[in-house]
Amino acid sequence: MLQIEVAYALPARQTLLQLTVPAGSTIESAIRASGVLQKHPDINLNEQQVGIFGEIVGLTRILRDGDRVEIYRPLLVDPKEHRRRRAKMSG
């Protein structure tokens, strides 16, 4: 058995769930087992990226003990474009 965490952050709050999954579990199976999809029905695993400790990986990645699975929200604005706008406003 593996001890893992599943994390999903919104601007106003973060959900961090700790769970135990069988060895050989995938990211997708852990996300489904965690209950995060019921707490956040806005999550769409077909469109949103997932990762482990900040590294984007696929849903079929096999988990290791201690992994933190992260579900990333879609970007509303491209970071480069945001910096350009901010620089233009301040300059």
pLDDT digits (tens, 9 = 90+) for 4-27: 999 999 888 899 999 999 999 999
Q: Say how many domains are in the chain.
A: 1
Considering the entire predicted model, what is its pTM? Answer: 0.78
Q: For residue 67, with 0-12 CB atoms within 10 Å meaning exposed, 13-18 middle and 19 or more buried, which class applies?
A: buried
**Residue 27: helix, strand or coil by DSSP?**
helix
**pLDDT 10s digits, 44-72:** 999 899 999 999 999 999 999 999 999 99
Burial class (CB in 10 A: 0-12, 13-18, 19+), 6: buried
Q: What is the span of the domain harbouring residue 16?
A: 2-90
Q: Cα–Cα distance between 19 and 16 in angstroms, integer?
A: 10
Helix, strand, or coil (residue 69): strand
Rounded to whole angstroms, how far apart are CA atoms 53 and 22?
Answer: 20
86 — pLDDT class (breaks 50, 70, 90):
confident
Q: Give 74's pLDDT tier (boundaries 50, 70, 90).
A: confident
CATH number at residue 19: 3.10.20.280
